[in-house]
Structure 1
C-alpha cells in the first residue's frame, strides 16, 4: 500500500464468518412423532417461503404468484423458533400415535450450533494459492516499475522459521514446502508479449540477413548493412524519455518495422558503392559519391515514414509505435549515412 502508484490493494483471504446450524435431534423428534424431512420442510416454508398458487387479477396479462412465508418480524432471530410449530404425525409407538396432531415448537426438536463457515480454497496448477491484487495509477502506467519497488520491500520480509520470500517472475515455484510468491496478471501478459515480439524480431533479423547474403553473395557485407538496426536505438530510447512515455509493446513493434527500413538505406549506399567499384572507381571515391547520390532518396524515404507516424503520436495506444518510428528513423538515418560507409571502408581496407 505504501508503494507509489499502487492502488486498490486487496487479497482473497476471507475473514472468519460465523454461521448457525440447526441440527435435528432425531431421537427426540421420533418420540414426538415428527420426521427430519417434516422439520426441514417447515423451516424452508417459514423462512424461505413457498409458492402455493397464482392470482389472476383484473386485466393483468401475467399472473401474480401467491407465496406463503412468515413475516419478517417473526423470522429474524433464533428466538423466533419458539413461534414456529410442526404438527406431530403420530408415527411409531402407541404413545406417539396418541399425540398425533399435536403442535410442537421447533425449538424443542432442533439444536442450535454456532460454527465458522468454511473458507474458499483457491488453486492454480494444482497448488494452493492466495491471490493479492492491486492496480497501478498515476505516473506508473506499467506494472513492471511498481513490481521493482515492491520487490525491495518483499525481500526484506522475515518469516518464522528463518524463511524468506524470493519473488518469481516467469515460472511457478518448484517446491511447496515453503512460502513462495509469483508475479502474475498484467505482468504475465506483458512478459509473454515481449517474449513473442523478441522472438519475432530475431526471426526478422535472420530473414533479412539471408536475403542480403543471397543478393550480395557475401557473409560480411550484410552484417555491415545491419549496423543501422542497433543505431535506431540511439533515437528510440531518448525519444521515449523526451516524451515521458514508457517502452510498450507498440514501441517494440515500431522498432521491428523500422529494422527493414533502415537496412534498406544501408543497401542503397553499399549497392551504389559496389556498382561504382565495378566500374573501376577507387574505394574512397566510390563511398563519397554514394553518400552524395543516395542521401536524397534515403532522406525522402525516412521523411515519409516520420511524417506518416506523426498522426499516431497523439494516440494513447499507438504513441509508442510513433515515437519509435519518428525518433528511431531520424537518428538512424543520420547515423547510417556516416557510420555504415565508414565501417564498410574500414572492413574493405583490412581485407584488401
Structure 2
C-alpha cells in the first residue's frame, strides 16, 4: 500500500546580497549564472567523437560530491572589478524552508491518492480487484478518525461535500464497474432485439417469453462452475453469459417451432410436445457438446478462463433444463391461453414431409 502524501523536503533559497555585490562590482546576473552552472551545469561547447554520429555537449558543473552540500558551493570564487577574488558565500544569503507539496485534484475536488495491489495468501489468483475492495471496505466500516464520524465509501460516484474525509474507490474498481455496467446495458439491448425478432417470426407476444425463459437458467451452471473451478466471475465470464443467451434461444426455437409444426399437422398438443422432446434432443445435445469441447480448450487460459467456464458449465446445465422447461412451459401456457392451431391445407407429418390427403372415390364399380 502506498499513497501520494509527500513528506517534508528541505528547500534552500539563495538570495543575492545586492549591496555587497555592488561594492564588489559583480552583477547579480553573473552571480546567478555562476550558481546555476555549479548546480545544474552549463553547456560550454561541443566535442566531436569519431565513434558518435552526433556531437556531444560539453557541460561544465561541480562534481557530484561537491554539489550535494552547501559547504563547497560557498567556496566558489568570483573576480571583482578590482581584480580580487571574493567567495560566493559572501554575496549570498541562504534561507532554509520546506518544499511546496503537490496538491492533486479530480473533478475540481482535492484528493489524496492511495494505491495498492492485492497481496497475502491467494493473491496470485485474485484476478479481479472487487474482492480486495470488499475486504478493505469491511475494515473501513469499523475505523473512526479523531473526529469520531464514520468514513463514507463511494463505489460509483464521487463525494459531494468536502467537510469530512470520504473514500472513493477508483482505478481498476472503476474500470470493472464501468465494464459490467456497459455489458449489462448491452445485454438488455440484446434481449430486446432477440424478443423483437422472435415476435416477428412467430407473430406472438407470448411465444418469445417461453423461448427466452431458459436464459436465466444458464446461471445455474455458470455460478457453481466458477465455484468448482476456483475461478472469479470476471468480465470474460459476463461475455460468456451474454453469448449463451443466443445459443439457448436457438435451442428453444427448435423445440417450439417443431411443436407448432406438429400442431398444424393435426397432432394434439400433448403428443406434439412429447415428439418435440424426443426428435429435437439429438441436434440440441450435439450442438451443446460441440460448444463444450471448444470451450474446454481455453479453460486453462488465465485471461479467458472465465469465458470458458461460463460456456462449459452454462451450456451443459441450460441445455438439460431447456429440454424440460420449454416443453412444460409451452404445454401449460399454450393449453390455457389459446386454442390448438387448426390443421392447414397441407398438413405436415411427424418426419417433416408434407402429407397429402387421400383422394375420395369418384364412383363405384360393380362386377
Q: Structure 1 length normalisation: TM-score?
A: 0.88
SS of residue paired to 1:153: helix
Measured after TM superposition, the shift of residue 150 of structure 1 is: 0.6
CA 1:18–1:267 in 2, change beyond 3 Å: closer, same or farther? same
CA separation in 2, counterparts of 1:216 and 1:59?
A: 80
Contact 2:252 2:322 in 1 (8 A): yes
- Superposed, which structure 2 residues align to 1:271-282 within 5 Å? 271-282=257-268
Measured after TM superposition, the shift of residue 37 of structure 1 is: 0.8
Q: Which runs of 5+ in 2 are unaligned?
A: 339-367
1:303 to 281, 289, 298: 289
1:176 to 157, 162, 167: 162
Show the counterpart of 1:26.
Answer: 18
CA 1:249–1:86 in 2, change beyond 3 Å: closer, same or farther? same
CA 1:16–1:273 in 2, change beyond 3 Å: closer, same or farther? same
Please state if 1:256 is matched with 2:248. Answer: no
RMSD of aligned Cα (Å)? 2.2
Equivalences, count: 334
CA 1:58–1:341 in 2, change beyond 3 Å: closer, same or farther? closer
Show the counterpart of 1:5.
Answer: none
Contact 2:198 2:208 in 1 (8 A): yes
Measured after TM superposition, the shift of residue 54 of structure 1 is: 4.6
Show the counterpart of 1:3.
Answer: none
Please state if 1:45 is matched with 2:27. Answer: no
- Superposed, which structure 2 residues align to 1:112-131 within 5 Å? 112-131=94-113
SS of residue paired to 2:162: coil
SS of residue paired to 1:114: strand
1:144 to 113, 119, 130: 130
**173-182 or 108-117, larger mean C-alpha shift:** 173-182
Please state if 1:212 is matched with 2:198. Answer: yes
CA separation in 1, counterparts of 2:47 and 2:254?
A: 88
Q: Which runs of 5+ in 1 are unaligned?
A: 1-8, 90-99
Contact 1:74 1:83 in 2 (8 A): no
**Greater share of helix residues, 1 or 2?**
1
- Superposed, which structure 2 residues align to 1:2-21 within 5 Å? 9-21=1-13
Show the counterpart of 1:4.
Answer: none
- Superposed, which structure 2 residues align to 1:90-169 within 5 Å? 100-136=82-118, 137-169=123-155
Measured after TM superposition, the shift of residue 31 of structure 1 is: 2.9
Show the counterpart of 1:288.
Answer: 274
Please state if 1:321 is matched with 2:307. Answer: yes
Measured after TM superposition, the shift of residue 67 of structure 1 is: 4.7
**76-85 or 281-290, larger mean C-alpha shift:** 76-85
CA 1:218–1:82 in 2, change beyond 3 Å: closer, same or farther? closer
Q: Structure 2 length normalisation: TM-score?
A: 0.85
CA 1:323–1:75 in 2, change beyond 3 Å: closer, same or farther? closer
Show the counterpart of 1:243.
Answer: 229
